[in-house]
Structure 1
Amino acid sequence: MLTPYTHHALPPFITHLEMGTMAAIPGLAYCQLSFDRYAWQDELFARYAIPFPPRLHAAGVKRRAEYLAARYGAKRLLAHHGCDASVGMAADRAPLWPAGWCGSLSHTHDRAIAIIAPGDGGLTPGVDIEMLAPETMRETADMFTSAQEQALLAACPLPYESALLIAFSAKESLFKALYPEVRRFFDFDAARVCQIDTTAQRITLELTQTLTARRAQGSQLTGYYFLAEDHLITLIA
């Protein structure tokens, strides 16, 4: 799913950074990175030229590290495509993208990912990254999937817990992709999983309610997933 074109690191905080593209979604670029929160220093905001938002003054090291890592990934992507700007934070805490660009950010534990696309490309990017947590998935499955979805996921070739995580993450990506258009919170039951193609690493979601005039009940959206040894990435655009 992910096709990298560069790798490097900026120790001690950023231990690995990878940038690349996604063949299945032309125009979409990604940057995923690993970071060490124990190497955190507040001066990293200045070093990486990321504006420090007032909302982070009361935040701890974990939140500051996650915020900086994801936005540094976005900054590197934007710079690679000729945009010398950073991603800010809107009043509703959503990422505030530079004019002419759209994208999505996600982070978990010591990993972060950013995706970007030209604003006039017709894409609505949403990304999510999650650590594998089989026991948690089993215990919380009813919170984000219906009995019908659970039966579909149990029947696919993947381990059931991995399939559950893909469903959870894909719905998180869906929310991030549609929020700029919908502009309000909607829950996991606003969409259902109707297909997982493990060969193409593709998942199809169907809206179960009308969110906007353009996003009507019954509309389908396609997402993609990348399942690694200890984490999962899902993308919708």
Structure 2
Amino acid sequence: MRTSHFPLPFAGRRLHIVDFDASSFHEHDLLWLPHHDRLRSAGRKRKAEHLAGRIAAVHALREVGIRTVPGIGDKRQPLWPDGLFGSISHCATTALAVISRQRIGIDIEKIMSQHTATELAPSIIDSDERQILQASSLPFPLALTLAFSAKESVYKAFSDCVTLPGFDSAKVTSLTATHISLHLLPAFAATMAERTVRTEWFQRGNSVITLVSAITRFPHDRSAPASILSAIPR
């Protein structure tokens, strides 16, 4: 499969972006993945997206001298090396990944059309959140896409510790040209209730990318070896 990779500094992190041509995907490309058998029943599009995401993840891990491909967990989440956290996302022909010494979540979404935003808004935000989005200087479809993406990023940062929460478990409290803040409710996770998480964002073409780096750690969070930690940007 044809791909192009480039690193992009953002919010104190280094995102690894992989643009890919799904039409050039061949089944034998998956043999590069140690877990390729688990994708046997997936559709062609899903296989190409997964491969591109893992390519981005491999580039991210090479930052710290680790040469491995993240496997697939029981919740279908990426399995990162001990002591490291990471996140992968993909949309259309772009995949991206990031790693950190602390919990981190990333998401990329195509900006909704006006029709789609109007149709989906009730399932993503409540009336209070709508007022915040409409009070921002951003077009409503962009603002709603950001709310959706930010909630996805927050979930990804804690996907191994929480059950799949609904969109109503995290509420938008502010939206600016550079970040969106979410207030977590008990429905998200009892240990995270009443916390506010700041999510950075930027627009890339007709898509938005959101990134949350969560400082709060759970009791069973892994600690990375000092030699690895020193190589990862804070």
| TM-score for both structures, normalised by structure 1 | 0.84
- Corresponding residue of 2:156: 176
Q: Counterpart of 2:5 in structure 1: which amino acid?
A: L
Q: Counterpart of 1:77 in structure 2: which amino acid?
A: A
Taking a change above 3 Å as real, the CA distance of residues 39 and 128 of structure 1, as seen in their structure-2 partners, is same
Asked if the contact 1:29–1:117 (Cα under 8 Å) also holds between the matched residues in 2, the reply is no
CA–CA separation in structure 2 for the residues paired with 1:211 and 1:148: 18
The equivalent position to 1:160 in structure 2, one of 135, 140, 143, is: 140
- Corresponding residue of 1:209: 186
Asked if the contact 1:53–1:89 (Cα under 8 Å) also holds between the matched residues in 2, the reply is no
1:174 aligns to what SS in structure 2? helix
Higher relative contact order (CA 8 A, sep 6+): 2
Superposed CA offset, 1:34-64 (max 9, x none): 1111000122234xx4323332111121011
- Corresponding residue of 1:19: 7
Matched, 1:230 2:206: yes
Taking a change above 3 Å as real, the CA distance of residues 211 and 155 of structure 1, as seen in their structure-2 partners, is closer
Aligned-pair distance for 1:81? 1.9
Gaps of 5+ in 1: 1-11
Aligned-pair distance for 1:213? 4.7
1:179 aligns to what SS in structure 2? coil
Matched, 1:151 2:131: yes
Aligned-pair distance for 1:136? 1.3
CA–CA separation in structure 2 for the residues paired with 1:131 and 1:209: 29
Superposed CA offset, 1:110-155 (max 9, x none): 111111113xxxx211111111222212210000100111111011
Q: Counterpart of 1:172 in structure 2: which amino acid?
A: E
Aligned length: 212
- Corresponding residue of 2:39: 56
2:27 aligns to what SS in structure 1? coil
The percentage of aligned residue pairs carrying the same residue is 33
Asked if the contact 2:35–2:72 (Cα under 8 Å) also holds between the matched residues in 1, the reply is no
| TM-score for both structures, normalised by structure 2 | 0.85
Asked if the contact 2:185–2:192 (Cα under 8 Å) also holds between the matched residues in 1, the reply is no
2:103 aligns to what SS in structure 1? coil
Matched, 1:188 2:171: no
Asked if the contact 2:170–2:188 (Cα under 8 Å) also holds between the matched residues in 1, the reply is no
- Corresponding residue of 2:230: none
The CA RMSD measured in Å over matched residues stands at 1.5
CA–CA separation in structure 2 for the residues paired with 1:155 and 1:212: 29
Aligned-pair distance for 1:212? 3.9
Gaps of 5+ in 2: 214-234
The equivalent position to 1:66 in structure 2, one of 36, 49, 55, is: 49
